[in-house]
Structure 1
Amino acid sequence: MGDADTTGRGGGLRAYIGSFTSGGGHGITTAAVDPATGALTPLTATGAVEDPSYLAVARDSGVLYAVSESDRGAVAAFRPTAHGLDPLGEAVGVGGAGPTHLSVAGRLLLTANYTSGSVSGLPLAADGAPVGTASVLAHRGSGPDAGRQERPHAHQVLPDPSGRWILSVDLGTDSVRVCAADPATGELRVHAETAVRPGTGPRHLAFHPGGEVAYVLHELEPQLTVCRWNQEDGRLEPVGEVPVASTGAPGAARAYPSAIVVSPDGRFLWAAVRGADAIAAFSLAEGAAAPRLTDTVDCGGSWPRDLAADPSGRRLYAANERSGDVTWFDVDPLTGRPVRAGSVAVPAATCVVFA
């Protein structure tokens, strides 16, 4: 998100924080961001959407989108104003249950529907509102973990840096699908599928700013898979694995990695790890395809469900679901080490985005 997206909509940079209303959260909280310190000050909140566990902002329009992680499965759109969030119509069904992630690809709003194991595409009207009936692509397959991988569980869907391809990450099938979208109908078709190591449970993917490397973070094993990305052919090729947390240490809590962030300048990578309640920091000084774990710091709370960088990349924000807070960190510009700088109470916090 460039500087043009962060000003002029209510007096400076804003943070939007999602939370589980079923867990006591307020829904979507709008917070002011102090430009000098990164501190968050909650301003308003809306509970108009049930369990808005993930949010996204369209770069061109500034419209804020939220999933409703419910059995019905829906998305809602809002226009940020100086006074809060104005709804753009009613919530729209996505044709899938339990959407956990959403993103914008051109004039298409995409959701990853965890419970039903599918991804959906909804056309966007001129004002940014989702319209019509969702096009749904059902995933197929399973994995060796009978408790978590009995069937597909799509966890994330996002466009590649070129905007030509759409990638969906499925925890249940241990794979990442590369899809193409019909520009007229939004219908998705699978172009290729990349398998990762069975039982690792891929959850989130992030691209290096250079566009030729992607990182897949796994939930069922604390591992990061490094992949080469060929945008011409739409092919994702795993080239190595890197641990993001220790495994098997006596008395240690099981680690469940949740979110991954690459710094805008491509020098660092960070991963949030639940259970261990930590943020793992990696240096990319030896190349985008060679992340090196350099530090592990406390996340400042419990169960960091999401990790986000501000537009400058100078600060990180951890949404700690179980402790009900968002903690922010200053990033050491030389080492990439996150240094805790403050926190704010946000019950059942699930994600943070900026606009």
Structure 2
Amino acid sequence: MKYKAIVIVLIAIATLSIINSCKVEESKNEQVLFVGTYTDGESEGIYKFNLNLGTGELTNQTLVAKIKNPSYITFSPDRNSLYAVSEVDDYKKDDGSITTFRVKDTSLVYVEEQSTHGANPCFVGVSKDGNLVAAANYSGGNVAVYNALENGNLKPSPQIIDHKVLDSTRKAHAHMASFLNGELMVSDLGLDRIKKYTASNNNFIPSNQKELVVAEGAGPRHFVTSNDAEFLYVINELNSTITMFQKENGKYYGKKTYDTVASDFEGESFCADLHLSPDGKFLYGTNRGENTVVIFKVDETTGKLELVGREFVKGDWPRNFTIDPTGKYVLVANQRSNNIVVFNRDAENGTLSFVSQVDLPSPVCLKFY
């Protein structure tokens, strides 16, 4: 009987080991995706999915936070905090808000909400060390820069960088705020500028190169740099172009502009998001209206772009998109057709092929955990 009991215990241990091994293998084969949405329809806030890296399917849809219009979300570098802007103008009078969540086992725990000191915030960026968080207020035409504590909480009374005072004829629309090599860069769609700020005495002041200029009426929306930061690419919402800048003596200079929509396309189209592949060899951008992802091959020496093609997004109004950490899949959030589409990415040629799709009301921001 004693021998039999030992055998039973050993079998139980072996079974648990197999189960745990399967769970580990399963977790390695999945990536967790968080999705920000607009909540003026059926959506309730921030959702979570699992992306199966083998099949490219999104499963296990879960509402993880009820919050109004979380149109942009991002994680702290240590992945312990998630910041979400609420694209509204009534948190306080003419103000939107930013909410801090603690991330616990891929669930979100509410921490606090505070004002962004401007209307309709549409982007939130975090510095590489996690000490600074910046929210871009589109309608407010300004940027709020917060200091973050060690636990990720945001200190009140952020620095407000106001673009409305910079031009008396055009309306400021801060659209993206990102930290790069110790500087804060802000694309302003209304001013047709990418403003640059340098840290000085715990505040940001205009840098030596105060701004990068795109064509009048272009409407710079998002930007991305090459891995070595020698090249910077800006996607322009209003004239459907991408402008390439190259660094010379520490400053960026505009070199060339590329069309994102086909020459024979008829109708209105507006660019949205922009990303480089993990290896830096391909640049992707979304066209709302033409409803495509445009694909460019990047010359890693000159930074110049060569058109590869365009892929229909199998939906309407592609907003934000993302490339999974392995570089295998491109996921596109189609705001108006209420779906997220997964494409397989050919790493050698940069091309995309449809894999799967899932329904979700008004998805506009995709972030992998």
Q: Do they fold alike, i.e. is TM over 0.5?
A: yes
Partner of 1:153: 173
**Structure 2 residue identity aligned to 1:101:** F
Partner of 1:225: 243
Partner of 2:34: 16
The answer to whether the 8 Å contact 1:143/1:174 transfers is no
Partner of 1:130: 154
CA RMSD, 1 decimal: 2.1
Partner of 1:76: 99
Partner of 2:295: 281
Among 173, 176, 179, the alignment partner of 2:191 is 173
Among 309, 327, 330, the alignment partner of 1:313 is 327
Specify every segment of 5 or more residues in structure 2 that has no aligned partner in the other structure, as ranges: 1-23, 90-94
Distance in 2, Cα, partners of 1:288 & 1:27 = 42
Distance in 2, Cα, partners of 1:124 & 1:286 = 36
Worse-superposed segment, 150-159 or 72-81: 72-81
Among 239, 255, 260, the alignment partner of 1:244 is 260
Aligned residues: 333
Distance in 1, Cα, partners of 2:134 & 2:201 = 13
Give the 3 Å change call, closer, same or farther, for CA 287–280 of structure 1 in structure 2.
farther
Distance in 1, Cα, partners of 2:149 & 2:117 = 18
The answer to whether the 8 Å contact 1:113/1:154 transfers is yes
Partner of 1:190: 206
The answer to whether the 8 Å contact 1:61/1:128 transfers is no
**Structure 1 residue identity aligned to 2:173:** H
Larger radius of gyration: 2
CA drift of 1:33 comes to: 1.7
Give the 3 Å change call, closer, same or farther, for CA 108–183 of structure 1 in structure 2.
farther
SS in 1 for 2:66: coil
Partner of 1:104: 126
The answer to whether the 8 Å contact 2:44/2:68 transfers is no
Specify every segment of 5 or more residues in structure 1 that has no aligned partner in the other structure, as ranges: 1-6, 145-149
User: Cα deviation per residue 1:252-286 (whole Å; 9 max; x = unaligned)?
Assistant: 22110100010110110100100000000111146
Partner of 2:56: 38
* Identity, % of aligned positions: 26
**Structure 1 residue identity aligned to 2:139:** T
Matched, 1:350 2:358: no
CA drift of 1:79 comes to: 2.2
Going by fraction, where is helix more abundant, 1 or 2? 2
The answer to whether the 8 Å contact 2:136/2:144 transfers is yes
Give the 3 Å change call, closer, same or farther, for CA 25–318 of structure 1 in structure 2.
same
The answer to whether the 8 Å contact 1:69/1:100 transfers is yes
Partner of 1:119: 143
Distance in 2, Cα, partners of 1:293 & 1:255 = 18
Partner of 2:343: 329
SS in 1 for 2:40: helix
Matched, 1:85 2:121: no
Distance in 1, Cα, partners of 2:278 & 2:302 = 13
CA drift of 1:49 comes to: 2.1
1 or 2 for the larger relative contact order (CA 8 Å, sep ≥6)? 1
**Structure 1 residue identity aligned to 2:331:** Y
Distance in 1, Cα, partners of 2:99 & 2:171 = 27
CA drift of 1:316 comes to: 0.7
CA drift of 1:311 comes to: 1.0
